Amino acid sequence: MVCTSDADYFNLLKLGIFPEGSSGTNPVMAQYLELLPPNVIAFPNAVLQAHNILLPGPTPVTAPTPTPAPKATFEPTSSMTPELTSGPTPTTAPKSERLPSNTPTFEPPSTPAPKPIPKS
């Protein structure tokens, strides 16, 4: 089933919450729903409605939006600006000797060394 609106997706979720054939005063009801992240993102209102069916509780009280505190501005003063003084002059690093292009490696001997005989 392709859902194109929150209402479509909510109807699909209700089928998962109340499986077909469950009705009456005490219907069979799901304990949880497994939802895929793209569907949760696409239909947040339907997911919230289904959540409220599965976990009924008191109606949440919306808190008033807090007024942001005024931002403190920072203005640098002339006493905070460092003064440039003459200091040491940069020098170039001495050139190092050129390293060989190939690193020598040690090759194993052509015949393996004899293994010691264990004492019995």
Cα–Cα distance, 58 to 64 (Å, whole number) = 18
Work out the end-to-end distance of the chain between its first and last CA atoms, rounded to an integer number of angstroms. 79
Threshold 0.75, pTM exceeds: no
Distance (Å, rounded) from C-alpha 36 to C-alpha 38? 6
Do residues 12 and 24 make contact, with C-beta atoms less than 8 angstroms apart? no
Alpha-carbon distance 45 to 56, whole Å? 16
What integer pLDDT is reported at residue 119 of this predicted model?
A: 78
- Residue 42, pLDDT score: 93
pLDDT digits (tens, 9 = 90+) for 49-94: 999 888 887 765 665 666 776 766 666 666 665 666 666 666 666 6
Which DSSP state fits 25?
A: S
What mean pLDDT do residues 36-55 have? 91
